[in-house]
Structure 1
């Protein structure tokens, strides 16, 4: 079925064109490169995987409860609107929330695909071009995964959120080669990692857990790429240039905070827009979710050298300044380890099932060939029939 038939709302335009400026950059040094980035490139090559094979798409998913999220986590829970809903409407709302959330994951991954391609074109260093080329393949795979999950398992999509679209547009329209790094690798990818991680650790549903775990294994490398490239470059910039980038980060963080409300779902169920926003703002779950979503961004921003006074004040206002001391390396190592552990458990279970099946077949082959009258036949050692 065509995607346009599954949208809860018709997208504003079937094709969004973002006028891009900037230059394609060629370098003529092919041997030298930063070892850290080249090592990341080699890792990117080694860790490629096929979404059609690594993920078990035969697992059944209840589209009305794809993640097992308690109703208490919905902003409308225990309100007059909730009490007036029948069970059918509540089930439908769970489906809409899942469709909205995974649709934003999908649209963000397409944005990452475009940005990775843009980085390959515009970054001046060949080692960075090498790695960003592997990232473009990763992002194509992520688009494939989330699109398939939405089409086959939930059967509904939502258009791109306005705030996400605005941040993507700002990232792509800027002519400076480092801005796709900053907008995508640090802000959007950092946000995605935290959102994926929270859901990965929360859900016990096998298919979304596989998807989130394997995608996060890739995303951990992407954030590491942004850190390495930008930390080296920003160490060379003056105060005025650093402040420009900090302003971009501040605006992007506020945009992403506003992106997380999901009031589009509430308005679909007849709740006025102003009340939908208010319900989301009052939700304890939404507030906790927002803070966790900055757990990858704030330490990364600090690590690459953007930590001026105005940026710190913004993080105080957002309630996330304390996250600057978190260990990104530990979080990224955990993301990779969890994917490897999931593989080990899944393949061990598959191997055990295969061994059991082989043993069963062997046992059946060794059993006596007993005829219907209970007398062993020739193969079973009895006297053959006349």
Structure 2
């Protein structure tokens, strides 16, 4: 099997990326838990660990024409004249490249989350948060592994996009611990949940759907972690400090909303990226998708107290303000329930296969 480094459709400038850091490693000599809710989340994080090699059935293969078996409505250039006149083989290649590009961003983003969460463990002052963040570090490593193994079946990968790289770099470079939470736990993880859900809920390929379902089960806890930590902290800040964070949120929201243009894919396939971008902008599905990205972000932003006039106006102009009233607790419970349904489905299939094998063996013996 090819290695990921040999699968990149575009040449990498370097095999490593170094981001300079400037923050203090914080020790805390008070080991007694201070927040029941945070420690409850830590216990849950410990109890819900899973092994990607065991929980997922990697013997399943991807579809040749449509790897994740997603509806073409989810392909951004579906309906575009250039796409519609392609042969079946050419369309299959477009689907493969776009899906590999999307999964690559998931994988790259999860490595960003891995590094950011390790930074949180080092930097956050309270022991409760250090405890929980330590469970998230292993979660993120498992997510990188899962997406890497799924991409290996594509035999194709793409580098991290510039907008995602810019936001991760900005998040890592900031010396304030809460900005790491805000950039990663709220914005990047929140947007990722909406993207994962699109595949979990629409992919007909069982492996692709299951990978995203299980990752979402973890990620919903991660967003809850950021919510708990920041809700206690932000009331202590001055109005000027909160305004600065609201400005960061708006900039990050615009940046991440526009990172789904997949310009790297269209250029690599010899398509006009400007024409593709124009089609995507006017696509009904993509407009709905861009808006839905904020389902998990706005309720958290509002809940932690970053809800001044400027940020409300910004989200109103983006057309996503209504998502502020989403019940994130219900969404988290749904993510957990759906993941357990995937477990139950696999056990059911395995039990049927075992019974069938037993029947065959009995018949052969007779």
Greater displacement, 27-36 / 141-150: 27-36
The answer on whether the counterparts of 1:63 and 1:155 sit within 8 Å (CA) in structure 2 is no
Using the TM superposition, give the Cα deviation of residue 84 of structure 1 relative to its aligned residue in structure 2, in angstroms: 4.2
1:215 matched residue in structure 2: 215
2:199 matched residue in structure 1: 199
Cα distance in 2 for partners of 1:277, 1:363 equals 60
The answer on whether the counterparts of 1:6 and 1:157 sit within 8 Å (CA) in structure 2 is yes
Using the TM superposition, give the Cα deviation of residue 74 of structure 1 relative to its aligned residue in structure 2, in angstroms: 2.8
**Alignment pair present for 1:76 and 2:62:** no
2:175 matched residue in structure 1: 175
**Alignment pair present for 1:111 and 2:109:** no
The answer on whether the counterparts of 1:4 and 1:10 sit within 8 Å (CA) in structure 2 is no
2:224 matched residue in structure 1: 224
Using the TM superposition, give the Cα deviation of residue 355 of structure 1 relative to its aligned residue in structure 2, in angstroms: 4.2
Q: What do residues 81-139 of structure 1 show as CA deviations (whole Å, max 9, x unaligned)? A: 22442222211111100111000000000000001100000000111000100000000
Cα distance in 2 for partners of 1:86, 1:204 equals 23
TM-score (norm 1): 0.91
The answer on whether the counterparts of 2:280 and 2:286 sit within 8 Å (CA) in structure 1 is yes
The answer on whether the counterparts of 1:100 and 1:262 sit within 8 Å (CA) in structure 2 is yes
Cα distance in 1 for partners of 2:363, 2:71 equals 46
Instruction: Tell me: CA distance 1:115–1:86, structure 2 relative to 1, closer, same or farther (3 Å).
Output: same
* Paired residues for 1:270-285 under 5 Å: 270-285=270-285
Give the greater-gyration-radius structure (CA).
1
Instruction: Tell me: CA distance 1:321–1:342, structure 2 relative to 1, closer, same or farther (3 Å).
Output: same
Q: How many residue pairs end up in the alignment?
A: 365
Cα distance in 2 for partners of 1:314, 1:41 equals 34
As a proportion of its length, which structure holds more helix? 2
* Paired residues for 1:283-298 under 5 Å: 283-298=283-298
Using the TM superposition, give the Cα deviation of residue 271 of structure 1 relative to its aligned residue in structure 2, in angstroms: 2.5
| Gaps in structure 2 of 5+ consecutive residues | none
The answer on whether the counterparts of 1:40 and 1:131 sit within 8 Å (CA) in structure 2 is yes
| Gaps in structure 1 of 5+ consecutive residues | 368-386
**Alignment pair present for 1:3 and 2:4:** yes
Secondary structure of 1:169's counterpart equals: helix
TM-score (norm 2): 0.96
